[in-house]
Amino acid sequence: MKTVPDFTIQESGRNVLPPLSISLAASIIRDAAEVTVTQTFWNNAAHSIKAASYTSRLPTGCTVTDFRCRIGTNRIIRGSAKPRDEAFRRHIQHHKTGTALLERDTPEVFTTTLGNIPAGAKLRATLSFIALLKLRFADSLRTTTLTIPTYIAS
């Protein structure tokens, strides 16, 4: 009987569940990009994950506009922007009813508390943000660049 999902990466004090799939959609209008990243995860263990969180790297200076997460077939969590103290109070009050606490750890790292993920459940997280594009001028050409941060841990 599995106690942690397949492909789980064990780190000191926590387990990391890598995504099964990732998709990205971007719309570029002048010097800004509206980006939506969707990731799918799967808890294929025989036990629930009691306390889960979702962490994402984002471009420097971007603004998160939406967060949605479907856990299993019938539980949807939505994040919304609130002042930190108010957001924490609301999250504690409504933790079991499907609120998400989206925190800005650093300018490039956002974390959302998800709560319980049942055994066998798939999770689909969708994060949207707006980022200003970098402008570069070289050889009389103007180049606009959109950078999406990713990383490989070892």
Q: Where are the domains of the chain?
A: 19-133
Q: Write down the pLDDT at residue 54.
A: 84
Q: Write down the pLDDT at residue 5.
A: 67
- Contact between 37 and 126 under an 8 Å Cβ cutoff? The reply is yes
pLDDT tens profile 105-144: 566 777 777 878 888 899 999 999 999 888 777 777 778 8
Q: Write down the pLDDT at residue 74.
A: 85
Mean pLDDT of 5-24: 75
Residue type, 50: K
- Contact between 69 and 128 under an 8 Å Cβ cutoff? The reply is no
Q: Write down the pLDDT at residue 83.
A: 60
pTM score, two decimals?
0.75
Band of residue 154 on the pLDDT scale cut at 50, 70, 90: very low
Half-sphere exposure of 43 (CA within 13 A, CB side): 21
Residue 132 CB contacts under 8 Å (≥ 6 apart), including other chains = 31, 32, 61, 62
Q: Write down the pLDDT at residue 125.
A: 92
Q: Write down the pLDDT at residue 20.
A: 87
Domain 19-133 - what CATH class?
Answer: mainly beta
Q: Write down the pLDDT at residue 86.
A: 67
Give the span between the Cα atoms of 40 and 10, in whole angstroms: 19
